[in-house]
Amino acid sequence: MKRKRTSFFKQFLTRLLNLIQSISQFYQAKIQPPLDRFFYRLKHNFIYREIGNTVKIFSLITIRITRKRRHAFYGYLFILIWLIGIAIFTLYPLGYSFYLSFHEAYYNLQEGVITTFIGFTNYVNIFRSQTLVPAYSNYLGRMVVAVPIIIVFSIIIAVLVNMPIKTKSLWRTVFFLPVIISTGPVINELNAQSAITLPNLQASGIYSYIVNNLPSFLADPLTTVINSMLLILWYAGIPILIYLAGLQKIDPSLYEAASMDGASPWMRFWKITLPSLMPFTGISIVYVVVSMSLFVEPGGVLDLTRTHMLVGAPDSAFWFGYGYAAAMAWVYFICMVLLILVFTSLTREKRGKVK
């Protein structure tokens, strides 16, 4: 019985090998030569001809192949897919949504998009809307309060983790965890069950003090930040790692020299650690602002954009449709870029003037 089985396997294997061999023979005999001929034709034809190290196009234009030109050709070859992609999926949509934002646009199943030019009406309507202006100001206020908190928090955590302790990788793992698990629906559910803030924080005196004593335009962003404190700290995952990488690059001899001169750890933090971390703040801010802006909370601007685009406005006294949604997205994008510019210019090192 056993012998039979081995012989069966042997038979199977030899048959398989024979099959592969016959396929390869067939390939070499029948398919390879025409392919070779095809590639030869591709390089030696009326339109494109390679002679030595020159290329003739239409037998008229002669181009000498130099190393530089060949490199440029291969460079474009490698990024060709990116060039196609950026044209179709980024630059064209960018221009098209800009175009749409000045139009009234609806989708019609028979005729496609119908647009009529209405000038700045979409933008004006945004600023006249009862639901949109609070949404934008909420967004801006929250960002203005939250981004500094995230940056300070991530610097503190990075410095703490970078201390000479043994369980560094454990802490790295813990503080990077939110980047992995934070997905829209999960966060929304946590938000609904008010699990994204510490209960003690809400019950503390600070909260009621802010609500009772500050004007609402100051109090609202502060209270929303307190109400979603932990969610905001979750955005520190990548900045912490950026700052940790920055801390590794500080020369330890700087600290030695400072302690020789009698600087305390406190002084060393302010005079050495913090200034050498400042160059990394710009990229952290960009990252934090972008990732916070792209989180779509229910009732946020991006969510409203989607509803305006797909089903029409809840306050249908105003315009809706694709043009209005495009204008909303543009205003949102401009707010985002402005925030990035303001924050990065605030933290940029002031270069000392050379006298």
Please, which of residues 45-84 interact with other proteins by CB under 8 A? Answer: 68, 71-79, 81-84
Nearer Cβ to other proteins, position 31 or 160? 160
Asked if 311 touches other proteins (CB under 8 A), the answer is: no
Which amino acid is it at 177?
L
CB of 106 to other proteins, least distance (A): 11
Choice from 257, 274, 278, 290 touching other proteins (CB under 8 A): 290
**Among 34, 112, 215, 252, contact with other proteins (rule: CB under 8 A):** 112
109-116, long-range: CB within 8 Å, 24+ apart, which pairs? 113/322, 115/323
Q: Minimum distance from CB of 3 to other proteins (Å)?
A: 42
| Closest C-alpha among 324, 235, 249 to residue 280 | 249
Contacts of 130 by beta carbon, 8 Å cutoff, 6+ apart: 315
- Minimum CB separation of residue 50 from other proteins in Å reads 14
Q: Kindly state the number of chain residues that form the binding site for other proteins, as judged by CB under 8 A.
A: 94
22/131 with CB nearer other proteins: 131
Query: Which two structure tokens, joined as six digits, stand for 327?
Result: 């204008």
Q: Does 233 bind other proteins (CB under 8 A)?
A: yes
Task: Work out whether 6 is an interface residue with other proteins (CB under 8 A).
Answer: no
Question: Which residues, numbered 146-185, are part of the site for other proteins (CB under 8 A)?
Answer: 156-157, 160-161, 163-165, 169, 171-185
The DSSP bridge partners found for residue 114 are 106
Binding to other proteins (CB under 8 A) within 239-258 occurs at: 241-242, 244-246, 248
Judged by CB under 8 A, which stretch of 51-59, 93-101, 137-145, 208-216 contacts other proteins?
Answer: 93-101
